[in-house]
Structure 1
Amino acid sequence: MVNITAELNDQKRKVDFNSYDMSVKELISMVNDNIIDIAPEYQRQFRWDDSRQSALIESIFLGIPVPSLFMATNNDGTWEVIDGVQRLSSIINFAADAISAARAKINRDIPLTLCELKKLESFNGLRFPDLPRSLQIDFLLKPIKITTLSDKSDKSVRFDLFERLNTGGIKLSDQEIRSCIYRGRFNDFIKALSENPSFNSVIKLSKSSENDGTKEELILRFFAYLNGRDKFEHSVVGFLND
C-alpha cells in the first residue's frame, strides 16, 4: 500500500496544472493578443457546422456548464489549445468583432447566425450584433473553465494525459499530440521533410491521412528505426515518443 501511494504521489509531482474561470470577453481578447494560440499545427482546423456552434452558444447563454478548455503552457508563457479548439472557435465566430485577429485565425469572414435553437427559439436567425446590448454584455461576461498544463510537467506524463483527453469527436493522432509536446528543431525538421516533393511522390495516403500527422510519423519511424532499433521493445508509441 505504501509503494502504491508513493508511486501515485510521484506521478502527481510530475504534472503541474492550473485552473481558471475566464470570461468569454477575456478569452477572445487573449486570442486577439496572441496569448492563446487557437490553431497550433497539430490541431485540426475549425469544422463544426452552424447548428453545432449554435447549440454551444445556447448552452452558454443558459448557463449550462460546458466542458473545460484544455491548454498547454509554452516556455514564453503563452497558451496553446489542446482540447476545445472547436468550442473556442465557435465562441469567436459568434462574438468576435467582424474585423479582428481572432476571427482571422479561425478563417471565418462571416459571423455565425444562430440556428436550430431549441430553448431560445427567438434567437434563431440572429447574429451577435443583432442582440440587445444587455444580452451582448451578459454573453461576454459568461465564465468558461480553463485548465492549463505547465511546460514544467514531465513530457511522458503530458503525452499520456493528452491522449486521455483525446476522446472528442475530432480525434488527434499520436503524431499530432507529439507535435504539441515534443517541440523543437527535430520536430520542425520532420515537418519540413513531410513537405518534400520526392517523399510525397513515393507514398500513397488516403485523403483523411494527408493532414493528420501520418506523413510526419512515417518520417519519424524511419529515423527511430535507423538510429535506435536496438532500443525497441514492444510499444511502438512509446518508442517513437522516446
Structure 2
Amino acid sequence: MTDSQSVTAAAPESDEDPQESLVKADSDVLDPETDEVDSAPVRADDALRYFGADFDVDGLVKRLNNGTFIIPTFEPLAEDDIAGFEGFQRGLVWKKKQMDRFIESILLGYPVPGIFLVELADRRYLVLDGQQRLTTLQAFKRGTYRSVRGLSKFALRYVGDEFKGHTYENLEPTQQRIFDNTFIQATIVVPKGAEGKRGVYSLFERINSGGTNLKPQQIRVALYAGETVNFVRDLNQDPNWRTLFGPQNRDLKDHELILRAISLMPTARGIQVFRPPMARFLNDYLEVSQDQLPADAEVIRARFTKATALLNEARGVRALKIRGTQVNAAHTDAVLVGLMSALEQRADISAQDVSAALTALLENERYQYAISESTSHAEQVSARIKLAAMAFRGESLADEQE
C-alpha cells in the first residue's frame, strides 16, 4: 500500500473531506439548447411501471458490494470501471460532516429518505437517486472512505458525544443492529416499451435531488452505456480535441459535442432529417446504436482525428469560440460535421483552407443566425451544417446570406 493509499485516522478538517473530481465543475460551453423544453414530454404511464420495496441497510450494502446495485459514475478519467457503466466517476460528493450526520441520524433512529432504483434487463438495479446516501452507508460499514489525503478511516467526528470517534466496528452490538436493520424505502422503476428509456431519462431529470443535479450527458452515459458511449469517450481523449475544447468537463459537455457531431453526420449526408429537441435526438441515437457502432466507425474516427488536427493547426484554441472564452456548442457541431463531411469529398483540405472557411462562416449572416438563435430548430441545424460543409469544400457563401 502506497503512502497515498494509507489509512489515516485523524486529519485536519480541511483534509478529511471526500476527494472531489479534479475535473472543473463549471462549463465553458455556450449552449442555449441546455434550457430547451421538450414540447411533447413522455407520460410516465406510457413508459414506466414502478413499485415499492423496503431494504435494510445491511442488505443494501451487500447488494452494492456484489454489484446487484450499480451507482453510475461519471468521471472521464476514472481508472476503476463498473462493467457496463465504464469510466465516469461523478466526483461530486458529500462533505465529511454530511456523511457523519447522516450516519448519526440512523443510529439515533431517525427516518431515512427513500431512494429510486431502475431495474435493468439483467435484474441489476441502477441507482437513480440516493447515490450519496448509499455510498456513505457502504463506506461506514467498510470502515474507510477516499479522502483528500488518500484512504481514510471512517470514524465519526461531527456528531454528538455518544458516537464521537466511533467506527462501525467499535459500535456496541445493539448499535450495530440498529444500523444494519434500519429500513430504507426504495421506489423501483421498470422501463416498458419503446419509450422506456426516454421515460427514465425524464424521471432522472425531474427527481434529481440535492444541490447538484446531473446534466443531460451524465444521464445518458448511465442509461445508454455501451459501445457508442465508449467510442465517444475514446474520441474525447484525442489530443487536438483537448486543445480545441479545453480541460475535461465535469458536465461531460465535451462528450456531448462529440456525440452531436457523430449523430448529425447522416443529416449532413442527406439520409436523415434532424428532429428537435436536441436532447431527445441524442437519446434516440443512443437508443438505436447503444451496443453497436456504425459500420463506418473507424472512418468516423479517422475523419474526426483529421478534422481536429486541421482545426488546431488553423486556429488552435480559438477555432470553436465566437467571442470570449466559451466554446459555442452550435458552432462546434456545425464545424465538426461540416469539416468531417467535406473530408469525405476532399482529402486534400489544408489548415489554410480551414482557416479561410472559418473566416467565411463567421462573416456570413445566415450562419451567425443559425448558431445564435433558436439553435435546435431543424432549419437552423440544417442551415449551419450545410453552410459549414460548403465552406470547408471551398465553395462560396456569397449567395447564402438569407
TM-score bracket, shorter-length normalisation: 0.7 to 0.9
Matched to 1:185, the amino acid is: E
SS in 1 for 2:156: coil
Find the partner of 1:224 among 263, 266, 274.
263
Find the partner of 2:223 among 162, 181, 189.
181
The 5 A counterparts of 1:196-207 are: 196-205=238-247
The 8 Å contact of residues 117 and 126 in structure 2, kept in 1 or not, is answered as yes
Find the partner of 2:251 among 197, 212, 221.
212
Structure 2 unaligned segments of length 5 or more: list them. 1-42, 75-87, 285-402
Taking only aligned residues, the RMSD between alpha carbons, in angstroms, comes to 2.8
The ranges of structure 1 where at least 4 consecutive aligned residues each deviate by more than 4 angstroms after the TM superposition are: none
1:58 aligns with 2:104: yes
Match of residue 349 from structure 2? none
Q: Give the structure, 1 or 2, with the largest relative contact order (CA under 8 Å, sep 6 or more).
A: 1
Deviations along 1:75-128, whole A, 9 cap, x unmatched? Answer: 211112221111111111212266xxxx79xxx7434221222xx432122212
The 8 Å contact of residues 72 and 222 in structure 2, kept in 1 or not, is answered as no
Q: CA deviation at 1:151?
A: 4.4
Matched to 2:171, the amino acid is: L
The 8 Å contact of residues 70 and 83 in structure 1, kept in 2 or not, is answered as yes
Find the partner of 1:45 among 91, 94, 113.
91
Aligned equivalents of 2:282 and 2:66: distance in 1?
Answer: 35
Deviations along 1:185-206, whole A, 9 cap, x unmatched? Answer: 222221222222332232124x
The 8 Å contact of residues 162 and 177 in structure 1, kept in 2 or not, is answered as yes
The 8 Å contact of residues 191 and 199 in structure 2, kept in 1 or not, is answered as no
SS in 1 for 2:123: coil
Aligned equivalents of 1:46 and 1:88: distance in 2?
Answer: 14
Structure 1 unaligned segments of length 5 or more: list them. 1-9
The 8 Å contact of residues 15 and 158 in structure 1, kept in 2 or not, is answered as yes
Aligned equivalents of 1:113 and 1:11: distance in 2?
Answer: 42
Aligned equivalents of 1:124 and 1:191: distance in 2?
Answer: 43
Match of residue 66 from structure 2? 33
Aligned equivalents of 2:238 and 2:127: distance in 1?
Answer: 28
Find the partner of 1:135 among 175, 183, 186.
175
Q: CA deviation at 1:61?
A: 2.1
Match of residue 166 from structure 2? 126
Deviations along 1:202-229, whole A, 9 cap, x unmatched? Answer: 2124xxx623321210101112332237
- Tell me which protein shows more helix as a share of its residues: 1
The 5 A counterparts of 1:1-20 are: 11-20=44-53
Aligned equivalents of 1:97 and 1:27: distance in 2?
Answer: 16
Matched to 1:212, the amino acid is: D
Question: Could you tell me the TM-score, scaled by structure 2's length?
Answer: 0.50
Q: CA deviation at 1:63?
A: 2.9
- Give identity over the alignment, percent: 29
Question: Could you tell me the TM-score, scaled by structure 1's length?
Answer: 0.80
Aligned equivalents of 2:161 and 2:107: distance in 1?
Answer: 12
SS in 1 for 2:162: helix
Matched to 1:225, the amino acid is: L
Deviations along 1:140-191, whole A, 9 cap, x unmatched? Answer: 1111112222243612111111100123223211001111222332222212
Matched to 1:172, the amino acid is: L
Matched to 1:186, the amino acid is: T
